[in-house]
Amino acid sequence: MNNFLFGRYLPGNSWIHQMSPQSKLTLSFYFVVVIFFANNLASYGALAALIIVVVLLSGVSITFFLKGIRPLIWLIIFTVSLQILFSAGGHVFWQWGPFSISDLSLINGGYIFIRFLLIIMISTVLTLTTTPLAIADGVQTVLKPLKKIHFPVDTLALMLSIALRFVPTLMDEMGTILNAQRSRGVDFGSGSLKHRVQAAVPLLVPLFTGAINHAENLSTAMEARGFSDSEHRSKYRVYRWQGKDTISWLAFLAVGGLVLWIRKH
C-alpha cells in the first residue's frame, strides 16, 4: 500500500525517538531548506554525512529506509531524466529535437538525485520514529505563536489528531465495504468511464455515511465528558524540550553554517 504516514512508526528508545516531536518536525523542515542551499559535492557530502549519523542514531535498520525509497525509485529516475534531457547550457554532447544532454545537465541531474534521497531519508526518519499523534502535537507546539493573531491553533491540532486517529478505522471500514460490494459482483478496477462511475458511488456513500456516524457519536461522547472548547484541554502526554533537542539543533545549525560557508568559497 502506498502509505506515507501510517503503519510506518517503529517503537524504540533511541536518541531520535526520545527527542520531542516539535524539534524533530522543525529540524526536518530546516534540513529541507538547507538542502536547497547546497550547490556542490562538498556541501551535499556534509549533508549526507549528517543524515547517516541521524539514521545510525535512530537505531532503525537500514532496510526500512531502502523499503521507503523503493516505491519511489522510478519516479526519481523519471524526474532526474527530465532534468538531464530538458536543461539548457553547458557543453552539449547529444541533441535530438527538444532533448539534449550536456555536461552541466548531467551534473545537475546527479545533484537532484542526491537531493531527492536526502529529503526522503529525513522524512522517513521522522515518520519511523514519531507516531502520527505525536506529529499532531508537534504541529500544535510549532504553530503556537499564531495564537497571537487569533488563529485557532488548538482547534486545528485537535481536528488533526481526531483525523489521524480515524484514518485506520475508516481504512478498515473501506475494506469491508469493498468486499461487500465485490461479493455483490461489483468490479472495481476495469471498464469504461460510465462503469467506473457506477462502481465509485456504492463505495463512497457508505464510507461517508460511516464517517458522519463516527463524527456524531464522537461529539456526543466528547460533550458527555464535558468538552466545551479545545483551548483549555489538558494533555495525557506532554513533550518537553530536552538537552537532546538542544544538542541536535546545535549539530544541525553547524552543518547548515558549513553548507553556507562552502557555498561562499
Strand partners, 95: 100
Burial 109-136 (b: 16+ CB within 10 A, else e): bebbbbbbbbbebbbbbbbbbbebbbbb
Q: Is 174 in the site for other proteins (CB under 8 A)?
A: yes
| 193 counts as binding other proteins under rule CB under 8 A | yes
Residue 13 or 183: the one with the smaller Cβ distance to other proteins is: 183
216 binding other proteins? (CB under 8 A): yes
C-alpha–C-alpha distance, residues 203 and 201, integer Å? 5
Closest CA to 180 of 140, 207, 149, 141: 207
Q: Which grid coordinates are listed for 209?
A: 455515511
Nearer to other proteins, 77 or 247 (CB): 77
CA separation for the pair 182, 171 (Å, rounded): 16
Considering only residues 94 through 133, tell me which ones interact with other proteins, judged by CB under 8 A.
98, 108, 112, 119-120, 123
Is 146 a binding residue for other proteins by CB under 8 A? The answer is no
Applying CB under 8 A, does 1 fall inside the site for other proteins? yes
- Are 206 and 172 in contact, with CB atoms under 8 Å apart? no
Amino acid found at 160: L
Selected binder of other proteins within 57, 117, 211, 258 (CB under 8 A): 211
Binding residues for other proteins (CB under 8 A)? 1-6, 32, 36, 72, 75, 78-79, 82-83, 86-88, 98, 108, 112, 119-120, 123, 155, 158-160, 162-164, 166-167, 170-171, 174, 178, 188-189, 193, 196-197, 200-201, 203-205, 207-209, 211-212, 214-216, 218-219, 222-223, 227, 229-230
